[in-house]
Amino acid sequence: MSSSRKTLLAYYRDLHRRYGPQRWWPADTPFEVMVGAILTQNTAWTNVEKAIAALKTFGLLDPNRILETDEETLGLAIRPAGTFRVKARRLRAFVRWFVDRGADLRKIRALGRPKLREELLGIPGIGRETADSILLYAFDLPTFVVDRYAWRVLTRHALVPEDAGYDEMKELFEESLGPDRKLFNEFHALIVKVGKEHCRTTARCEGCPLEARLPGR
């Protein structure tokens, strides 16, 4: 077992021991996961929940209904998620791709992870984190999602340099842990949990389940 694999699994065990299963991503359908992945850009999940609840109330959590709805009206429905005009445009662009692909999860998934990720990244407003969230949580494909919490944990624990980019951090997890979808799912969710509680902009290390693993401790 490589040293990086042993280290990451030790971090995973510490987090899982403290927090238990996270059962993430919270959604009723894969399509809801996709919508949530777009709406959660630069906002708190509590705001996304309000926006998704509004979409459900107005019967808009449906690919065809979204395409039939003009951006202004759609924006009003997702307003709680912030930057609603931009997100309405991004959401419609994504849904157009999804419908053009037949809105068939099984057939789209059969494209394979590299091709599907390439297509997602070609949709306006879909960046790497959003694309990987959709791949992992909606299509059940083994790809690791890197976010600001992962960057904080990895850099503060000297597992990657401070100038490490998205791809470098993603590669660390994927090459060390192998293509393990369930592990990637739970590990990312646990990192989000510890990030919200402890690894904030200003670190709150006291009482953190990873405190003993900080360099110099």
In the 8-state DSSP scheme, what is residue 79?
A: G
Which pLDDT belongs to residue 139?
A: 97
For residue 161, pLDDT over 90 is answered with yes
172 Ramachandran zone, left/alpha/beta (phi>0; psi -120 to 50): alpha
Average confidence (pLDDT) over 15-28: 96
List Cβ neighbours of 183 (8 Å cut-off, separation of 6 or more). 12, 177
**Cα 137 to Cα 145: distance, rounded to the nearest angstrom:** 10
Q: Give the pLDDT confidence score for residue 166 in this predicted structure.
A: 97
What is the C-alpha to C-alpha distance for residues 145 and 195, in angstroms, rounded to an integer?
14
pTM: 0.95
What confidence score (pLDDT) does residue 22 get? 96
- Cα angle for residues 30, 36, 39 (degrees, 5° grid): 150
Residue 103 region by backbone torsions, left for phi larger than 0, else alpha for psi between -120 and 50, else beta:
left
Nearest to 148 by CA among 66, 48, 44, 26: 44
Task: Give yes or no for a contact between 126 and 138, defined as CB atoms under 8 angstroms apart.
Answer: no
| pLDDT one-digit tens code per residue, 162-204 | 999 999 999 999 999 999 999 999 999 999 999 999 999 999 9
Rounded to 10 deg, the angle between the 166-177 and 181-197 helix axes is 130
| Identity of the residue numbered 158 | A
pLDDT band for position 216 (cuts 50, 70, 90): confident
CA 184/CA 177 separation, integer angstroms: 9
Look at residue 2 and tell me whether its pLDDT is greater than 90.
Answer: no
Q: Return d(Cα 214, Cα 109) in angstroms, integer.
A: 39
Burial 4-26 (b: 16+ CB within 10 A, else e): eeeebeebbebbeeeeeebebbe
Pairwise CA distance, residues 145 & 133, whole Å: 6
Q: Is the pLDDT of residue 124 over 90?
A: yes
pLDDT for the residue numbered 129: 98
Average of per-residue pLDDT across 53-70: 96
Evaluate if residue 106 carries a pLDDT over 90: yes
82-102 pLDDT, tens digit each: 999 999 999 999 999 999 999
Mean pLDDT of the chain: 96
pLDDT of 88: 97
